[in-house]
Amino acid sequence: MLFFVFTFLIVTVQAIDEVLRNGANDVVVVRRFDGSYASSRWEGQFGKLHSPFQSREGEEVHLFVNNVPARQRMEIKGGSVIFKGSSENYMTSKELIELNLNPGLNRGKFIAKGLDIVIRFSVFLYQEDDKLVITDIDGTISQSDVKGHIMPFFGWTAEHKKVVELFHKINDQGYKFIYLSARSFSQDGETKDYLFELLQDLDGYSLPQGPVMLSPHPFISSLLTEVVKKNPHEEKAETILDIWRAFDNTNMNNIMDTIVTAYGNKETDVAAYVNAGIDKNKIYIVDSQGHLVNIGSGAVSSYGEQVNSVHNLYPNISHMKHSKQV
């Protein structure tokens, strides 16, 4: 009983806190063989209430990557960060090249000087021929949606048995991970703490670093989408497609050229992955007991069984050289 009361209190506090909090999605940037660059959307939100006497609307936002200021200027509109003079939050290839990104992880931040607010996020630079594994978080990495939201408050990881080891070993084989969630921007801090602090160095295995892609909607809206409306698949599918568009070109013109596997725990995850064009034979759904079902074949396994077969399921590509370098 106390657990459910505590759960209710946490949800209530998060809902109220959402109006004060800020957050951002990570960004995927792709360097293509022809030397051009493309990226997913640059998305962030400034909490709805900073001061009862100060509006956020129209406030200028400065973008920094690796502590270097970007030329682009942004502003706050309706709480969201947008590029000035543009209805879409994308950079051109030239603008992305000017960021001088390092391969893999780069540190980004949105700074609204007039509000004295800094929102931190990550920018990942990948190559055109990198291979991605998509995974949901709550119920897929954690044992259930509720445990994924609540247990970390107690310092408990509540992860599925062997999931960290499996994802660690898949990453060792050369594959990149994308973490996808219906959680809102306002939960980006605790989500990343869960993935990249609590689920690190567990029996020598750690979840790989990778972009965390959250819902741009407020906490309550995201909760309603996930629990009541039950249609988070629409937003998740669009997020997947937005990432894949950065890879999509004449060399990689099928989503399966880039996204090799997707893990989830609900029918809405299946719908999102299928709607994005991912092959059903490459979609795995896990239940609360840790049983993994391949949606295409119906075969049942587990994270532990996949650990034992990881070299067959995920042939090593870490040693391969990119056929072209910029």
- Domain 17-127 classification at class level: mainly beta
Q: What architecture (CATH level 2) is domain 132-313?
A: 3-Layer(aba) Sandwich (3.40)
Confidence at residue 295, expressed as pLDDT on a 0 to 100 scale: 98
Condensed to tens digits (0 to 9), the pLDDT of residues 250-294 reads: 777 899 999 999 999 999 999 999 999 999 999 999 999 999 999
Domain boundaries, the chain: 17-127, 132-313
Burial bucket for residue 203 (CB in 10 Å: 0-12, 13-18, 19+)? exposed
* Torsion angle in degrees (nearest 10) through CA of 129, 133, 136, 140: -170
Report percent pLDDT > 70 for the chain.
79
Q: What is the rounded average pLDDT of the residues 120-145?
A: 93
Report percent pLDDT > 90 for the chain.
65
Q: What is the rounded average pLDDT of the residues 135-155?
A: 67
Q: What is the rounded average pLDDT of the residues 101-107?
A: 98
Task: Decide which of 156 and 147 is more confident.
Answer: 156
pTM of the model: 0.86
Q: Compute the mean pLDDT over every residue in the chain, rounded to the nearest whole number.
A: 85
Cα 156 from Cα 144, distance rounded (Å): 13
Confidence at residue 231, expressed as pLDDT on a 0 to 100 scale: 60
Q: What is the rounded average pLDDT of the residues 4-12?
A: 44
Q: Residue 67, by phi and psi: left (phi above 0), alpha (psi -120 to 50) or beta?
A: left
Condensed to tens digits (0 to 9), the pLDDT of residues 185-214 reads: 888 899 999 999 999 999 999 999 999 999
Condensed to tens digits (0 to 9), the pLDDT of residues 41-70 reads: 999 998 865 554 567 888 999 999 999 999
Condensed to tens digits (0 to 9), the pLDDT of residues 73-83 reads: 899 998 889 99
Cα 310 from Cα 317, distance rounded (Å): 12
Q: Are strands 60-65 and 68-77 parallel, antiparallel or unpaired?
A: antiparallel
